Amino acid sequence: MIKKRYIIAFIITLAVLALTNKFWLIFKAAHHAHFEFFVFTIILILSYLFGLKLTEYLVDFKEIKHQSRIEIIFLAIFFVMLFIPMSHIDTKSQISERENRTLAKYKPFITNGQINYTYGTDFNNWFNDRFNLRYAITNLRTYIMYLIANKCDNGYFDKKTKTTYPKWSFGHMDIDTIKSNFKALYDFNDWCNKHNIKLYILIVPQKADIHTTQLNYINDTNKHTVFLDYIKRINQENKIKIIYPYKEMLNAVKNGKQVYFKTEHHWTDDGTFIGYKELMKEIIKDYPNIKVLKNNDFNHTYNKMIRGEFPRDYNKGQDCWRLGLPDFICSSYHNYNYTYYKHKDFNNLKETIIDTKYHRGKIFKYNYGANYRVIQLGTSMNENLTEFIPFTFKNVKRIRNNNVKNIKAEEEFKIMKYYEEEILEYKPDIIIFCITYGNITSLHNLFNME
C-alpha cells in the first residue's frame, strides 16, 4: 500500500506542476534566464508532500472511516478545484486597462543574495492579480453586489437613471493640491508666450459632478465649490485662460440633455459641443475673425451605443467591462439615444493617422477653416472634440498624451520631455490643452524632463 501511495502522490505532483504551468517555466528557462529554480524546488516539494498526504487521507477515509466512494470522489474534486486558480497564471500582462492600474510584479525570494522578507505579501499580491478565471470570479461578485447594493469594488450603480460611475469619478482634491499643480499651467503659458503660441486650457468636469442623482451623497461638493471659486479668481486675473464649462453643462442636464455617456466617463457629442462653444468664446477674443460652428452646421444621428475613443466605433462603454457588469445588465443601461454630430462638409476634411514612437494621433486638413495652425493636446476627451475643432481651423494636429505606447503611466504628463520638439516643429498658433478635472494631480509633471 505504501508503494501505491508514493506512486499516486507522484502522479498528483506531476498534475499540480502541469496545472501551475511549471513545465512551461522549465521550457522557458531553456530560452531565457528568468527561471526561479528556488521557487520551483519549493513548489515541487510541497506538491509532492501534498499528493502523499492526500492519498494517505483518502485511503484512511475509505478503510478506517468507511465512507462511500461518492464521498471520496466529492472530496477529491474539492481539492482539485483548489488548483483551478493556479492552472493558468497570467505572467505577461503588466497593466489592467479594465481596472485602470498597474498589476503587481513578481518579486523573488532572493535577489542578488538578499532575502526578500516581504515575499509572502508580494507573492500574494502577484497571485491575486493573475490567477486563472480572476475576471469571471470578480464579475460574479459584481453581480451579487449589484443585486444587494448600489456599488462594487470598482464603482457605483445609479439604478434610477441607469448610469454607472467608476470609483474615481467621485474624487475631489484639496485646494492646496490644485494650486500646487496649477503652477505648471502658468509655466506652460509662459513657454507658449515665448514661442508666440496662444494657450487655452479646457478642463472637462467629472461626470459625477454633473449627472448624479441618488448618489450625490458620495460627492464631496464642498471641495468642488472651493475649486469653482479658484477658477473664477484665475479667470479674473486673466493670466492664463481656463475654460471649465461646469455651469453650462449642468444647465443642459436640467433641460434634459445627456452630456456624458451612461456607461462611460467620456462626454457625449452634446456635452462636447457645449465645451467647444465655451472654448471658442475665449478664442474669438483673440481671433475675432474665426467662424464658430453652429448646431445647423451638422447632420445628427442617434444611437444607443457609445462612441468616445480613438477608433470612433460604437460599443457598450468602458464601464461595462471595467466594473464587470454582465451583458444582460449592461444592455438595460443602453436605454438612451445619444445624439451624434457629423459636419455637413465632412467629405472635404482630410484626415491622416500618425503612429509615432510616443503617441498615436491625427492630422486634419480643412481648406475652409480659419487659417491658423492648432494643436489639440491632452487626454481622450479630445476624441469627441475633434468632431468640431478640425472644421474650425485649416490645420489641426491632435496629440494624445495619456494611455499611449512606450510611456509609463507615471510619465504621461511629461509633455515637454516627449512632445516639445514635435510641438515646435509644427509651429502652432494655438494650443488647446484638454484634460479632465481628475488629471489635475498630474500637471506637476509638465516640465519634468527626468
Render pLDDT for 152-201 as a digit per residue (tens, 0 to 9): 878 888 888 899 998 888 889 999 999 999 999 999 999 999 999 999 99
Pair 378, 366: CB distance under 8 Å: no
Please, which residues bridge with residue 221 across strands? Answer: none
Angle CA(300)–CA(303)–CA(309) in degrees, nearest 5?
90
Cell digits for 217?
451623497
- pLDDT for the residue 323: 83
Instruction: Specify the DSSP element, H or E, that contains 316.
Output: none
pLDDT bin (cut points 50, 70, 90) of residue 230 is very high
pLDDT tens-place string over residues 377-411:
999 999 999 999 999 999 999 998 887 878 887 88
Cα separations (Å) of 33 from 36, 44, 368? Answer: 9, 20, 59
Q: What is the pLDDT of residue 43?
A: 65
The pLDDT, as a whole number, for residue 41 is: 64
Q: Which of 56 and 347 is assigned the larger pLDDT?
A: 347
Query: In this structure, how many other beta carbons lie within 10 angstroms of the beta carbon of residue 177?
Result: 14
Judged by DSSP in three states, 317 sits in: coil
CA 186 vs CA 143, 192, 413: distances in Å: 46, 10, 15
